[in-house]
Amino acid sequence: MLLALGLAAAGVSAPARAEPPMWVVRDADSTIYLFGTAHLLDPSIEWRTERVQKALDDATQLWVEIAIPPGGELQMAMAMLQRALSPDKPLSSQLTEAEQKQLRKLLARLPDGAALGMVIESTKPWFATVLLGTAPLMAAGYDAQAGADMVLMRVAREQGDEVLGLETAEQQIEWLASAPEEEQLAALKRLLAIPEDEFDASIREMDEAVRAWMKGDPKPLEKVGEAWRTGQDSALSAATSYEQMIVRRNENWAEQIEKLMAGSGVAFVAVGAGHLVGPDSLQEKLKARGLRVTRH
């Protein structure tokens, strides 16, 4: 997917150089770098600085949200679609005429919108919500293959580093698909009820936040994350649960990183940048466990 959104290390000023923010967790014999990725990224955005590459060179392990094997993207997409299929309950039969019209309008703005419409007609509501949340960025030139986590996995494998996942594809799909269908449908209906100008503004804000983050400015992403956390961003709040997608996962990852710190060596942990901002950030979860986290 996702994401999937004060700095956790509040009061630390942005670095002078225009490069993505990083953090480091250290003890006597362990070093773990924390890096915020964008799963979809405009290929023209530069983010692979010498500092990022040096940290990756020092590490012998790369930890990402999901360690997708080479060529495994299609398999994951098919697994997600398989979980979403609901051929006996067409999506249109669960929407009003006005909602169907709005869905067609949103799809018409996307490349292959008609084909996408045929696919989601036979899926559960959560799949349509996820698609509508990511497709506009892809239509604007964002690409999963250019995503920072995908690039980091390719580089790490070329270097002979071990690539590991903080969670599995099955777990991530389960988080997206596990809500009761009534809640899934309500979320889709909320998304379809958002005025187009507000929806477009949300996409623009996300684009601006990603570009700013990769230049070392976390404030726009902090703003997006806070709007999601408080429910002020209708599009984000309708699409996904902040508690489930940010809070619970950060707590799980902090537990895993704490176990890593009990060993020794150097690791590079790359997760969605939205997990590294705000009061529920991964850094704050690590600090709560007594670990020392500093801006790198």
User: What does the pLDDT look like over 149-187, one tens digit per residue?
Assistant: 999 999 999 999 999 999 999 998 988 888 888 989 998
From the number of C-beta atoms within 10 Å of its C-beta (0-12, 13-18, 19+), residue 16 rates as: exposed
- The span from the CA of 235 to the CA of 148, in Å, is 24
Terminal C-alpha separation, the chain: 27
Record the pTM: 0.88
User: Within a domain: residue 275?
Assistant: yes
pLDDT, one tens digit per residue, over 199-249 is 888 888 889 999 999 999 999 999 989 988 998 876 667 667 889 889 999
**Which residue bears the tokens 């003890």?**
27
Per-residue pLDDT at 233? 72
- Indicate the residue type of 66: I
Considering the domain boundaries, does residue 205 fall inside one?
no
Give the three-class secondary structure for 25. Answer: strand
Residue 236 contacts residue 227 (beta carbons within 8 Å): yes
Whether residue 64 is predicted with pLDDT greater than 60 in this model: the reply is yes
Residue 238 lies inside a defined structural domain of this protein: yes
* Cα 227 to Cα 234: distance, rounded to the nearest angstrom: 9
Q: Give domain status of residue 109, yes or no.
A: no
Dihedral sign (CA 37, 42, 43, 45)? negative
> What is the pLDDT, as a whole number, of residue 197?
87
Is 157 a member of any domain? yes
> Which amino acid makes up residue 210?
V
Number of domains in the chain: 1
Distance, in Å, from the CA atom of 291 to the CA atom of 60, rounded to the nearest integer, reads 21
According to the model, what pLDDT value does residue 9 have? 29
Strand partners, 26: 31
The b-or-e profile of 41-75 (16+ CB within 10 A means b, else e) is bbeebebebeebeebbeebebbbbbbbbeeeeeee
Q: How far apart are CA 24 and CA 22, in angstroms?
A: 7
Q: Flag whether 129 is in a domain.
A: no
Q: Helices marked H in the chain — which ranges?
A: 50-58, 73-84, 97-108, 113-120, 125-139, 148-158, 169-177, 181-193, 196-214, 219-230, 234-239, 242, 249-261, 282-288
Q: In the prediction, which pLDDT does 112 show? A: 84
Residue 135 identity? A
Highest mean pLDDT among 11-25, 45-59, 108-122, 139-153: 45-59
Report how far residue 230's alpha carbon sits from residue 237's, in angstroms, rounded to the nearest whole number: 9
2-14 pLDDT, tens per residue?
Answer: 333 323 322 333 3
Sheet holding 61-64, edge to edge: 162-165, 61-64, 265-272, 30-37, 22-26, 293-295
What's the confidence (pLDDT) of residue 234?
Answer: 67
Q: What is the predicted pLDDT for the residue at 203?
A: 84
**251: domain range?**
22-81+138-177+210-295
Which two structure tokens, joined as six digits, stand for 272? 């969605």
Backbone angles phi, psi at 118, to 5 degrees: -65, -35
More confident residue, 206 or 259: 259
262 within some domain: yes
Residue 8 lies in a domain: no
